[in-house]
Structure formats: structure tokens, C-alpha cells
Chains A and B, each alone.
Chain A
Amino acid sequence: MSNRFKSRYDDDINLFEGRWHLAQYAILMALLLAAPWLLGTYYLGELTAVLVWSLAGLGLMLISGHTGQVSLGHAAFMAIGAFTNLALMLRGWHFLPALLASAVTSGVIGAIISRPILRMSGIYLAIATLALSIIIEDVAIMAEPITGGVAGVFAPPIALFGMEIDRYATPEAFYYLCLAVLVLVTLGYLNLLRSASGRSFLAVRDSEVSARALGVNVARAKTLSFSLSCAITGLAGALYAHLAQAVNYESFLVLISITLLLQIVIGGLGSVHGAFFGAIVVVLLPQLIAIASDYLDNTAGIQIAAYPGLDTALFALLILLMVIYEPRGLYGVWFKVRTWLQLFPLYRKGMFRRTRTYLKTERQR
């Protein structure tokens, strides 16, 4: 790695650090655009799922990773987004306004909820949002005109630019739709992070007291972050509804909230990459296990399928190892590998040694 010489202030906040950096993302984008030709229909569907869960992870990453407020209830906002979108589409709205409406609805509801809820912090916030997720589960059963009650609602096909987009009939079109939404949101997210608001989120995460001392309006920063985070998650929920084709209260159980948090932790809290890495693990791990179990069954005659819930258990084990050995998640691993490559052969072993820390009470704040 050659040290780049910065000649303008903009160099610090540019989205891309230089031509090579830009080229890397251009290649990734080209690969993603070419995916329908490279992958079969099934794996294209899985890739679409990765995109949708990345979007949901991005939403949670904003509040938990970048503003430091742990939310264990974001499936609730996925549910709000999904049911808003479907209910409006079934009442004759077009897809795009309905999609926007689902983002706005979840964002507004998030903003309303955030004022009382964000007075709490740490573990209290986690349990309050968890409770929210559980409450929404039951609300989804009770609000039958909108959510279809226990049976749920089916997603109508999307009509967009004179095309009929359907997850099964035209998987490529649906994939491009998800990709477009995800890319737009990601660019917006990156821009937000380098704006004054985004910086104030990071300040609140690192220390509320010093952020306040520096003139950051902590309550406003938290509310804005939570509301934007809910809006993004609501978008993801709407896309998820079309991906799954049918949603009911069971699509957004509290377990989904927990998995979503685990997803961004495994990806790497506080990094945009982390949301994507985490989504890849969450979506592809069950596939990997299915393939491995087929293989073991055929070669060694070991039947893993006899143990239900094995994928969840392996996922949990992965989380366990990650928290113990690599708290910055897959992003941390990737970062180390990248540094190793860039510095080759000068990488030293102790470069990322963690400093010894001691727990201090969070009962004083």
C-alpha cells in the first residue's frame, strides 16, 4: 500500500479513496449486474434474499452499529413495512408509491416510538425493543383488515415500467429491482455517514456526554437515526414480502429480530460492509449445511437431518466464536486479510492486539 498524499479536504470524505478503490466496486457492481447470466434461477433467488437481508441489516446497522443503540426489535419495522406495502397495493396503489409509503410509515412510527424508548440505553433499550417486537407479533394478528390476521396476506405481482415483475415468473427483474433499491440506499447511507448528521451519530455512539459537550443534540441525533433506520428496515420488509410472496405474523417473529442483530454482529458492528457480510452468512449458511448434509449422507452415511435446528445451532456457534475471537466480526477478518496483503511482507503479528479493558458500570450515565 502506498500512502496516499491528500491535497484537498475532500480527500478525507470522498466515497472512494482513489481509482483502484473505485475500480474494485465497479467490478463488484458489474458482477452483480451479470449475476442472472452467471447463476441458475435457484441461486439467483438466494442472492436476492442476500440483498433483502443486507438491506434490513443496513437499517439495523445505522442505529446499532453507527449510533450505538442496540435494537432487538427491528423485525417489528420489517413487519410494518411489509404490511403497509401489501395493504396499499391490494387497495390499488402502484408499487413504487406503496414502497415509499412503507418506508415513510415505518420511519414515522419509528420516530414516534423513539422519543420515549431512546431515553433508555444499553440493556433497557434492548429489552424495550424486544418487547416491541413481541407486541407487534400480536398486533399483526389482531389488525386483521390490514394484515389478514393469522392467515396473512399474499403479495400481488408488481407492475413497473410496463413490466410485470414477479419473484417466480421473472426472477431477474425482481433481482434487479432489489439490487437497485439496495444500491440507492447504500449510496444514501454512505453519504449520510459523511454528513454532519452522520458524524453526530458516531459521536453519540462513542460518548454521549462528550457529544453533548461538543454541541450535538443527542436526542435529535438518536431520533433521526432511529427513524431512518426504521425506514430502511421497512423498505427491506416490503421487499421481503414480495420475496416470500406471502407474509403473516409468523414471518416477523421475535426470533427474526434476534437473528437480524446477530447478523450484523457476525458481519461486523459499525461497518457498512458488515451488513452485507452478515446477510451472506445468514442466507447461505443453511444452504451450506444442506449441501454438507447431502454429502455426508451419500459418502459416510451420517444423517444430520435427524437433528432439527442444526443450522441455528451452527450459526450460534459461529457467533460464539466470533464474539470471543473477533469482536469486529467478518469485517474485522476481512480488514486483517486486506492489511496483510497491502503490507506484505511487513505485517507484524501484534498489529491488531486488543488492549486490556475493564468493565465499568453502566448504571451511571
Chain B
Amino acid sequence: MDILQLLVGGIANGCIYGLLALGFVLIYKASEAVNFAQGDMMMLGAFLGVTFINTSYADLPFLVGITLAALILGLFGYLLDRFVLRAIFGQPQFAMVILTIALGFLIRFVAGVIWGHDPTSLETPFIGRVWTLGELMIPVVDAVIIITTVALTSILYFFFARTRLGVAMQASSQNQMAAYYMGIPVKRINAIVWALSGVVAAIAGVMFAAKGAVEPSVGLLFGIKAFAAAVIGGLGSLPGALLGGLLVGIVEPFAGRYLPSGVGQIAPYVLMLLVLILRPGGLFAQISQKKV
């Protein structure tokens, strides 16, 4: 029973990692850029959720609040691409890594100025409510997180596999110039995908704040862990991101419980290094050998 209980908590945590990893994969899939500020965008989403939903702030209903947060962060993502990231359009991946790391620092500072540095939690309608299955206790929050994640992953998966826009996004990431020749508006596509990843980050952020406390510096390490999850799954694969997130989420509590202290925190990274050493492209590898 103990193991099952750990498993449920791990899966719920893993879903949040998975949600955040989805944001990484989205941007990577559509523009082959890696957004190192994704964790900080999630933190921003969490704070927006807190601002709209908590009684001490705007006191809106949960669903209205989460929608507003997602819309605002989506707009933020769009404007970010339109006015900052487009300046380095077409430059190597590395430039984007540096740029987003710097953006993350800036977002963290601004959030600290606006919301302060005290940990804040989200007040959800299902706070403290628990379903019991025999001896197993499932917090409603965890159930909501798991359902949301699975739903969002499947929607995005079909979006990329089936819709014109999704396929255009994949094309523009594989070869920008060829995508241009095929009549794909690559710049607009990039802006759309950044908006989309903003929406996903907001949802991840609200879920994060519903389960734990949020403060400005939370984004960095959480973002790195989620990125590790995305890499475990094979950067560029949506189901892979979810699987990687789940693996990270499950490994963490088990390593913390059964292995010597201190190992629990680094277990996700050790797992990632092992996966990368054995399969350099991750579990669902997207890398192929270049033909010369």
C-alpha cells in the first residue's frame, strides 16, 4: 500500500513535470529552439493563477481564473516572440539558449518585484479533499492534474499529427528555408507556437501552485528537471515528454524513500544521464544520422 501511495503522488508530480516538458517539446518541435525560460514562464503562470483565484486578490472562480491566466501567458508568449525572439530569427540554436536563459533571469526579477519572495499557494475548490479507494488515498488535486495532463497531451499530439498547422510547424523546424519555399509563414508559426507554449506553461503553473507553494526562484530548478524529463523522453516527442515526466516524478519519491539521503534530489539527473549515455537521443529518439 505504501508503494502504491508513493506511486500516486509520484504520478501526479510527474504529470506536472510532463506538462512543463510539453512546453519544451512544443517549441522544440516547431522551431528547434529550447526555451530555458519555460520554468520561469510556468512560475509566472502560477502567480497569475494565484492573482486571479485567491480570495485575497481577485477572487474569481477556478475555471475563469485558469482561463484568464492561460490567455494572458499565451499573449505574453506571442509578444515575446514578436518583439524579442524574432530579432535572432534564423540564428543557431545556441543563441536562443543564451537568450532564454537571460529572459528567465529577467522574468524571475520582475516576478520578485511584483509578487515578493514569500511562498504562496493557490486556493482551489478541491483543496484538502481526498478520494479513498480501500486504504489508498487519492487527493482530488492529483486526480485533476493527471486528467488535465493526459487530455492536453492527446490534444497536442493530434494537433501535430493531424492538422495542417501542426504539420507546418514540424516542417518549419526541420528546414526553415525549405518551409519558406513551401509557402509556410515561418515567423507567424513561431509566434503561434510560443503563444501555445505560454498557454501550456500557465496550465502547468496553476497545477503546480495548486499542489505546492510558488515563489519566484522556483522556476529555474523545476524547469531544468522538466527539461531533463523532456530529454529522457527524446526531445521532440510529445508522448515521450509525458513518459519522461512520469519517470522523473516516480523516481524522485522512491529514491528519496529507499536510498540514502541526498540521492533523492539527484536521482532524476542520474536517470537522465543514464538514458542519454545508453540512448543519446532519448527514449523516443528523434535524431538521425546526417547523410553527406
Contact = CB atoms under 8 A, between A and B. Distances in A.
A327 interface: yes
B270 A359 contact: no
Contacts of B91: 327, 357, 359
Nearest to A317: B106
Contact of B109 (A141, A313, A360): A313
A97 interface: no
Interface in B244-292: 260, 262-263, 265-266, 269-270, 272-273, 276-277, 280-282, 286-292
Contacts of A44: none
B228 interface: yes
Interface string A304-322: 0001111011011101100
A131 B98 contact: no
Given A128-B276, A320-B84, A359-B93, A262 B101 contact: yes
Given A127-B228, A312-B105, A135 B269 contact: yes
Contacts, number: 153
A70 B94 contact: yes
Contacts of A162: none
Contacts of B266: 134-135, 138-139
A221 interface: no
A138 to B, nearest CB: 5
A361 B113 contact: no
A130 B99 contact: no
Contacts of B105: 312-313, 315-316
A364 interface: yes
Contacts of B290: 209, 364-365
Q: How large is the interface on A (under 10, 10 to 19, 20 to 34, 35 or more residues)?
A: 35 or more
Interface string B102-115: 11111011101100
11 contacts: A122-B94, A131-B224, A134-B266, A209-B290, A213-B292, A261-B98, A307-B113, A323-B102, A327-B91, A361-B175, A365-B290
Interface of B: 31-32, 34, 84, 87-88, 90-95, 97-99, 101-106, 108-110, 112-113, 117, 173-177, 180, 220-221, 224, 227-228, 231, 235-236, 260, 262-263, 265-266, 269-270, 272-273, 276-277, 280-282, 286-292
Interface of A: 70, 116-117, 119-120, 122-124, 126-128, 130-132, 134-135, 138-139, 141-142, 209, 213, 254-255, 258, 261-262, 265, 307-310, 312-313, 315-317, 319-320, 323-324, 327, 356-365
